Amino acid sequence: MGNNSWEARADEYSLYGFTDLPSVHERGAVVVTHGEGPYVFDTKGRKYLDSNSGLWNMVAGFDHPGLIKAAQDQYARFPGYHAFFGRMSDQTVLLSEKLVEVSPFDRGRVFYTNSGSEANDTMVKILWFLHQAEGKPQKRKILTRQNAYHGVTAVSASMTGKPYNSVFGLPLPGFLHLSCPHYWRNGKPGETEEQFTARMAAELEATIIKEGADTIAGFFAEPVMGAGGVIPPSKGYFQAVAPILKKYGIPFIADEVICGFGRTGNTWGSQTYDFMPDAIISSKNITAGFFPMGAVILGPELADRVQAASEAIEEFPHGFTASGHPVGCAIALKAIDVVMNEGLADNVVRLAPRLEAGLAEIAKNPNIGELRGVGYMWALEAVADRATKTPFASTLSVSERIANTCTDLGLICRPLGQSVVLCPPFILTEGQMDEMFEKLDKALKKVFAEVA
């Protein structure tokens, strides 16, 4: 890299997040300039099929004209405002109506943030505020699961059940991580999937009893664990845990930041897995990646209780300068319309079986231990030995090597632990899907030949 190259300048002035630094120091950053459909282009003119949809969110591709026009029109009409002091834009009102309309709730209330992390953080504060107002100040503990990802603020990182947060001295006290419901990896020898699910449910109830239901503020769960490596729940998992939470009066929050708005084949992942949460956390697909936005969607019971708590002190003392931003809301209204009414959600339903079948063919490789996923979110887990599920040595950085090889071939995918994740844009065509299969298969075979 020349001293004035884009790569060198990125390395000199940027602090990389969630990046394998030895890899980027060796190879250099990929600095992208623009996108067309599901493709992005770098400063050297190289073209990449982005099978990660940016970061799960660019579901309509990188140059959708309707979304661009929605942004341009709103910037020209009213480029910015807040949602404080009883004032908000008309677009904010319209989006709140639309989000409740498309939610599984018959009524509710919406609060806006700038990201999924902030939305989860806000939901925790809402629960703490609610319980404090109802005379239960001790009701503060938050239950999540190991390997879950809920964000990067101090609170949402405490909810995230990933070991890397220990470098920040997290989690904060009172954030408890239950077992990850990944049957393939965590099931005991001879244990059926139904027995595994029963064990997960029993662990939840035992934890509630041990900690005291009167100390637990809420339970958060992604319908499918996204950044944990695309881990669907074990069979019947949510049907087993939901009654336990209801029994002990613990609010059930669905973190739909990744799953929401079509990724699993339904509008909500909670619909795919047939459970009714008390609130939904949304982000990413809500604007198809064209604007940073998150939303807390409260179902009717929590909405009423939070409203009563706010009335008692004459306000809800929380908010962000740009939450409910009129441009973001205008884009979100268009994005929801694009996904739900312009064929994108239908495309996921139509082509998801083809995506699964193509990946299943690739997964016949003896160094793939598990193919898992649903809809348009899948992961292939690499193993040194399929029969024993033995992973490769971490020093080999197998998933990083696979992702780098894919990049060299013009395909962007995401390494997560020992897995390679694919979550393509909803606009992906059959021909582009075949391109993804071909390049991924070639990369896997090359890397496994080097390390196996």
Calculate helix-pair angle for 430-451, 344-362, nearest 10 degrees.
30
Mean pLDDT over all residues of the chain? 97
Q: pLDDT for 243-264, tens place per residue? A: 999 999 999 999 999 999 999 9
Nearest alpha carbon to residue 393 among 407, 382, 406, 379: 382
What is the four-CA torsion angle of 157, 158, 159, 165, rounded to 10 degrees?
60
Q: pLDDT for 24-62, tens place per residue? A: 999 999 999 999 999 999 999 999 999 999 999 999 999
pLDDT at 163: 95
Which DSSP state fits 231? B
287 pLDDT above the threshold of 90: yes
pLDDT at 452: 79
Residue 3 — very low, low, confident or very high, per pLDDT cuts 50/70/90?
confident
Domain boundaries, the chain: 31-63+343-451, 68-341
Quote the CA–CA distance of 135 and 130 in Å, as a whole number: 9
Q: pLDDT for 392-426, tens place per residue? A: 999 999 999 999 999 999 999 999 999 999 999 99
Q: pLDDT for 84-136, tens place per residue? A: 999 999 999 999 999 999 999 999 999 999 999 999 999 999 999 999 999 99
pTM to 2 decimal places: 0.96
82 pLDDT above the threshold of 60: yes
Residue 347 — very low, low, confident or very high, per pLDDT cuts 50/70/90?
very high
- Please identify which residue in the block is written with the tokens 């503020």: 217
According to CATH, the topology of domain 31-63+343-451 is Aspartate Aminotransferase, domain 1 (3.90.1150)
Contacts of 8 (CB under 8 A, 6+ apart): 1, 2, 28
Which uninterrupted H or E stretch holds 342?
Answer: none
Do 269 and 261 form a contact (C-beta atoms < 8 A)?
no
Cis (ω within 30 of 0) for the bond into 171? yes
Nearest alpha carbon to residue 142 among 157, 133, 292: 157
Quote the CA–CA distance of 9 and 308 in Å, as a whole number: 53
pLDDT at 413: 97
Do 156 and 117 form a contact (C-beta atoms < 8 A)?
yes
pLDDT at 380: 98
Question: Helix-strand-coil percent breakdown of the chain, rounded to 5?
Answer: 45, 15, 40
Residue 449, helix vs strand vs coil:
helix
**Domain 68-341, classified CATH 3.40.640.10, yes or no:** yes
Give the percent of the chain with pLDDT over 70.
100
1 pLDDT above the threshold of 60: no
Do 412 and 40 form a contact (C-beta atoms < 8 A)?
yes
E-strand ranges in 223-301 read 252-255, 279-282, 294-298
Judge residue 169's burial from the number of C-beta atoms within 10 Å of its C-beta, 0-12 exposed, 13-18 middle, 19 or more buried.
exposed
Judge residue 146's burial from the number of C-beta atoms within 10 Å of its C-beta, 0-12 exposed, 13-18 middle, 19 or more buried.
middle
pLDDT at 2: 60
Q: How far apart are the first and last CA of the chain?
A: 31
Give Cα separations from 268 to 258, 264, 274, 345, 346 (angstroms): 10, 7, 10, 11, 14
